[in-house]
Structure 1
Amino acid sequence: MYSVRVGAVNRAGAVATYDTNGVLLDNTKPEMHWVYVGIFAGSDEDFIDGYVIQSDPAGIKATWLGDDTESGIAGYHVAVGTTAESNDILDWTDVGPDKDKYISGLTLNITDPVTLTPVYYVKVMARNGAGMHSAIMTSHPIRVVDQDKPGIVIDGAAATERVDYIGVGEDSDYQKDAGVVTVQFAGFESHEHGVTYFDWAVGTTPGGEEVQPFIMGGLIHEESESDVPGNGLASTGFGQAVLPLESGVKYYTTVRGITNGGNILESTSDGFMVDQTPPTIQLESFALEENLTQLLPGAALYQSEVDSLSSAWKVKDTDCPIKKVYFSVGTYPYAADVYNVTEIQSLTGDGTLPTGIKPTADGRPNILTITAENEVGLSTRIISPSLIVDVTPPTEGVVKCPAFIQPLSHGECTWTGFHDDESAIESFEFSMGSEEGLEDVIPPVSLPVHTKKFLIQEERLAYVY
């Protein structure tokens, strides 16, 4: 230590002195004790298989310590490179006297797991009060891995019984079972820490626990999965629990993967609903009949058209989408001997028979069967009334009338033998003319089907049945 004294003497002989604080001569370099990466001061470095592993591609956490017993540490300089000798990522930068820092603004590529390149090194130099720099101290190599990633979660048990359970099956938005919840999950990854355990919950809100709180029970993992990120638990599996469910309520399943670093990787399904009611089918018309009271099974309808069969209906399901609708036409209920079972494209709302369907015209009934099935497999089947195609007139019977009628007396006409094997007789029509084929004496009169005679009187007509 050297000190300088300066004295000033005036003409009266008085002396004033000033002593400096001293100048310390330091001709030795400071010394670096350590450089740790992936942590700040006060934590322990995780050094695994010769590398420090991190998932941050934009910066590096680092802490260091240098010492100088003469002039102390004035500051540190930091550099980052892909080798212990290079500064190709960050050139030497003065970071001041801080002993730890998040080195930001970097662009770090993912380290290839096969070639183990690139890796990154943090280099630190200490600068003492005399401006001298220490030797460079280099950190352990840093591997950059993918960031933690939550997986996907779906509802339903589809494909959970396959032999090689990799990935997930098909998501189910509806189910008919009101007592079981099944969840599938895949893709939870933590390359940095690994997943140490999974738990799951069921709620009526996304991420909720209203039905089942987060528990680890009921989950099964695909343990044959290889190359699990971070050497943690398998990222694929499914779970099942017996829970009380209600129709019309939407439920959500949530799966969490907890990493060895304490991070929570959480994903929630898009939800599912319970449906225990089948679709409804309303027959709106069949042939020419549109009166709903006449469109009932067992009723009989008739038409003379032989080239086409028409019908319209409505299919509804308020709880679950319709999966398929199909129809057939047969000569007895649910049969398809007239027209084969055919699926149609209109799954909801109005539906109609396609053109070109010809009914049987041999006197046997034509019965339409319509079936609708929803997403959970519940189905409804209805049949139409019987439609008989009748292209022949009734069989001609025998009519008997008196050959002469006296004035002011009456005559009686009777008939028998009229019948129709296909559509039956609906009514009779009676008329009388002055010559065969004419109707100039008694114009046509419609008579009920049970009428068997007609009384003819002067100035009035009467019929008896």
Structure 2
Amino acid sequence: MLFMFKVKVGLPTEDEEVDQGQVLHNDPYGIRLSWSSRDSESGISKYEVAIGTNDNKEKILPFTDYGTDTTAYISNIFLEPYTNASTNASTLYVVTVKASNGAELVSDMGVSKEIKVQRANIPGVVFDGRSLFEDESFTTDHTSIAASFYGFESESCDIINYDWAIGTTEFGTDILTYTNYGLVMLNDTHGQCQIHTELFEDVTYYITVRAVTGCHEEYIVSSSDGITLDRVAPKAIFRVETSNDTIVYIQDNVIYQSVTDSIAIVGNISDNHEIQSLEWGLGSLPSLADIRQFTHDLTSLTSVASLVPGDSVFVTLNAVDKAGNHKLESSFAVIADTTAPEMIDLECTQFISVRKSIITCSWSTIVENESILKATTISMGSTQADFDILDSFVVHRNTYSFTRDLYNHISQFRNTTFMFITVTVWNVVGHKTIYGREVIVDRTAPLADRLDVLTSTSQGTPVERNQKCQLPRGYVEVKLINVVDEETPIDVNRYALYFTFSCVLIA
């Protein structure tokens, strides 16, 4: 005789969870079943199982041969959750099992209790940070950590409590094991948690919240997407980038440049994580943006600038990272220089000879109002284009004269009647002023037509005619007539028109 005893949801040793005669089930995608039967004569040869409704026993799964097994987990199905008895969408399911014996006789069908499919447990959402239900990716607080959560649901098992944990991986508990310390339930679906603990720079921490259900050892677990400690502000690096038509010089934290229509600065910003905002401004002082207001495009400041020569400007960076760390950084002062330096009151020796071969150049000062004087050089040559005597001799910037004895050069260049001096003053951005001076090389003595005797009886008041004889016996007065020098003017301080000679008579 073949009998079919019982079909139940779950394993044979488990009790079904029954509510108002219906078995509660919370997995819409699979179901575990067990059944039993007896045949004392030929034994059981196979069991066939179907899943459906009272109206259609094979609606979900047609009768399927499970051999002689008395348990099975049936997957790859979908059982629609029960919503409300008054709606057409609500469905109660039944499992039907029939057994066949060795004589191929089939038992009466065993039918389970009606199965009411409940919605699966719903993990909630965990938000890192202290702002309620607002997720934060970064924190600057290294002494505590906080989170909020909501959305945990369990239709099959009520939520009776919450625990939380902290780890350096998702669902990890290496920082804080599960505890309800520091956790406050606002109601049975959402709450907040916070605890004091030491956090370390650039480490990401994950907060895991688990809902404790009324079912035995059943939890609903959800983890945050992590929050990272970031207390380091962004780093700003300014570097000078020159072009072929721009000369740049840096000294004492000042950038001097040769143009006014651009700024030879490129700025880079770096951070271990993301930058939230980045702006650039141009100011007359560090941290100001009074010349050009903050903009997100650095190129719009540096490539079309209009600088006032001699005035300092500063490029200022204003950066904030995702953690809220703020960095306000300014570049070196930038000064545009468009004019060359000027040498004031330059004077050089005009005439030289083998008897007076020292040449001297002197000046009052050198004016450079916009940048810095780089060098003063002096060159000398036998021609204007050839510096064969002295080539680019550098004069110390605190020196205001230059002296050189050219005796050997006068002797060497015997046919040279002129020597040329070139004085060049340079500033650090390449602007220069060139001064040229011409020196006459005098190789001949002065000449006179004749020497006249002009002695008169009143010493010191000679007459303007040549005397043939004279009365005074103690002195004689003479005058050179038509004294000339084709190369060098006569030195009137060393030459007198009249000469008086005293005479001593020897008896």
TM-score band, normalised by the shorter chain? 0.5 to 0.7
Would you say 1:453 and 2:398 are equivalent positions? no
Measured in 2, the distance between the counterparts of 1:444 and 1:134 equals 121
Determine which of 83, 91, 103 is the counterpart of 1:118.
91
Asked if structure 2 preserves the Cα contact closer than 8 Å seen for 1:310 and 1:353, the reply is: no
> How much has 1:136 moved relative to structure 2?
7.8
> How much has 1:58 moved relative to structure 2?
5.2
Whichever residue aligns with residue 161 of structure 2, its letter is Y
Matches within 5 A, 1:161-240: 161=132, 165=133, 169-172=134-137, 174-221=138-185, 223=187, 233-234=188-189, 236-240=190-194
> How much has 1:190 moved relative to structure 2?
2.8
Partner SS state of residue 408, structure 1: coil
Measured in 1, the distance between the counterparts of 2:114 and 2:248 equals 83
% identical aligned pairs: 27
Partner SS state of residue 120, structure 1: strand
Whichever residue aligns with residue 215 of structure 1, its letter is T
Asked if structure 1 preserves the Cα contact closer than 8 Å seen for 2:265 and 2:302, the reply is: no
Partner SS state of residue 426, structure 1: strand
Specify whether residues 372 and 459 from structure 1 end up closer, same or farther in structure 2 by C-alpha distance, changes over 3 A only: farther
Determine which of 241, 251, 265 is the counterpart of 1:311.
265
Deviations for 1:105-153, whole angstroms, at most 9, x for unmatched residues?
683431351425221134679999xx99999886543222333343444
Specify whether residues 272 and 344 from structure 1 end up closer, same or farther in structure 2 by C-alpha distance, changes over 3 A only: farther
Q: What stretches of structure 1 of length at least 5 have no aligned partner? A: 1-25, 224-232, 346-351
Determine which of 377, 381, 385 is the counterpart of 2:324.
377
Deviations for 1:399-445, whole angstroms, at most 9, x for unmatched residues?
23344445333343321254132224333344567899997876554
Deviations for 1:148-171, whole angstroms, at most 9, x for unmatched residues?
3434445333xx34xxx5xxx334
Deviations for 1:57-112, whole angstroms, at most 9, x for unmatched residues?
355556789999xx99x8899765423685544677899999x7557468343135
Counterpart residue number, 2:355: 408
RMSD of aligned Cα (Å) = 4.7
Asked if structure 2 preserves the Cα contact closer than 8 Å seen for 1:81 and 1:89, the reply is: yes
Counterpart residue number, 1:242: 196
Whichever residue aligns with residue 117 of structure 1, its letter is S
Measured in 1, the distance between the counterparts of 2:359 and 2:38 equals 143
Matches within 5 A, 1:385-464: 385-395=332-342, 397-405=344-352, 407-409=354-356, 410-431=358-379, 444-459=392-407
Structure of larger gyration radius: 2
Asked if structure 1 preserves the Cα contact closer than 8 Å seen for 2:260 and 2:309, the reply is: no
Measured in 1, the distance between the counterparts of 2:314 and 2:98 equals 94
Partner SS state of residue 312, structure 2: coil
Determine which of 129, 132, 145 is the counterpart of 2:118.
145
Whichever residue aligns with residue 199 of structure 2, its letter is L
Specify whether residues 178 and 58 from structure 1 end up closer, same or farther in structure 2 by C-alpha distance, changes over 3 A only: closer
> How much has 1:51 moved relative to structure 2?
3.8
Whichever residue aligns with residue 263 of structure 1, its letter is E
Matches within 5 A, 1:304-343: 304-317=258-271, 319-343=272-296
Measured in 1, the distance between the counterparts of 2:333 and 2:67 equals 96
Specify whether residues 449 and 58 from structure 1 end up closer, same or farther in structure 2 by C-alpha distance, changes over 3 A only: closer
Specify whether residues 58 and 154 from structure 1 end up closer, same or farther in structure 2 by C-alpha distance, changes over 3 A only: closer
Counterpart residue number, 1:227: none
Partner SS state of residue 366, structure 1: strand
Between 1 and 2, higher relative CO (CA 8 Å, sep ≥ 6) is seen in 1
Counterpart residue number, 1:282: 237
Specify whether residues 375 and 289 from structure 1 end up closer, same or farther in structure 2 by C-alpha distance, changes over 3 A only: farther
Measured in 2, the distance between the counterparts of 1:289 and 1:192 equals 78
Asked if structure 1 preserves the Cα contact closer than 8 Å seen for 2:7 and 2:110, the reply is: no
* Structure-2-length-normalised TM-score: 0.63
Asked if structure 2 preserves the Cα contact closer than 8 Å seen for 1:80 and 1:87, the reply is: yes
Specify whether residues 446 and 84 from structure 1 end up closer, same or farther in structure 2 by C-alpha distance, changes over 3 A only: same
Q: What stretches of structure 2 of length at least 5 have no aligned partner? A: 410-420, 424-507
Asked if structure 2 preserves the Cα contact closer than 8 Å seen for 1:396 and 1:418, the reply is: yes
Determine which of 205, 218, 224 is the counterpart of 1:251.
205
